[in-house]
Structure formats: C-alpha cells, structure tokens
Structure 1
Amino acid sequence: MKTLYDVQQLLKTYGTFIYLGDRASDIAMMMLELDELQEAGVLEQRQYDSAKLILRHELKRSQSDNI
C-alpha cells in the first residue's frame, strides 16, 4: 500500500465508501474507519500502520495546500 487510492481500495473491501466533498474531511473519516476496523480485529497490524501513515501524510499535504 503506497497511496491514498490504495487505502480507499482497502476500505472498499470492507464495504466502506467515503466521500464528504472535502479532502481533509475524507481523510479524517478514513482514519476513523481504520481505527474501527483495527479495534474489531479485522486488519493486520502492518496494514493498519501503513494505511495510517499514508493518511497522516496526505492530511498534512492537504492542510499545507490550503494555506
């Protein structure tokens, strides 16, 4: 997993489709969904860590683009 798209595809495999119309909000919601999947024991730790790292990077990038 290397991109935001990859994280979206991972979430889709669990029936989660996120579109709020705001990139930062979309990413924040994806982070919450990943947390829920991790707490439920559905995701492997490596998948979770990789996805969270990608989303944190994308969120920072999104926020710096808005400045």
Structure 2
Amino acid sequence: MTLRNMHDVQLLLKKYGQYIYGPGRLATLELMEIEVKGLYDEGMISREEFLQAMLVLKSEIRKES
C-alpha cells in the first residue's frame, strides 16, 4: 500500500480498527504517529508503510506548527 497523503494514512489505521480523534488537529496527528509506530512495532505493517506514513504525518505536523 502506497501512502501519499493523510487519507491514505487514515485508511491504513482504519484497516486495523484505529479511529483517531484528538482535541485538535495537531493532537490528532500526534496520536496517529503513536498508533502507526505501535502497528510497526507489533509487526503489523511493513517498514515501507511505516516510513511513508511517518513522512506524511511529519509533513502535516510541520504545516500545523
């Protein structure tokens, strides 16, 4: 699965039953980072998916800061 944007990352998380909503956009993005890292640490997603998701999330976090 190629992850190019936030929608792709949300679909990846949804695939594993993760629906992330924080008190604001920045908090939501940070929670998504934690969940993606957890999926990777548990071996549920590939290294490539992990890196792509983190790049998208880091980019979105930079836009919010």
With normalisation by structure 2, the TM-score equals 0.92
**Secondary structure of 2:43's partner?**
coil
Identical-pair percentage:
30
Q: Deviations over 1:1-60 (max 9, x none)?
A: 111111011000000001123000000000000111111011011000000000000000
- Structure 2 distance, partners of 1:10, 1:37, is 10
The residue type paired with residue 17 of structure 2 is G
- Structure 1 distance, partners of 2:35, 2:7, is 15
Structure 2, unpaired ranges of 5+: none
- Structure 1 distance, partners of 2:41, 2:8, is 21
**1:15 equivalent in structure 2:** 17
Asked which structure has the greater CA Rg, the reply is 1
With normalisation by structure 1, the TM-score equals 0.90
- Structure 1 distance, partners of 2:27, 2:49, is 21
Structure 1, unpaired ranges of 5+: none
**Secondary structure of 2:19's partner?**
coil
Aligned residues: 63
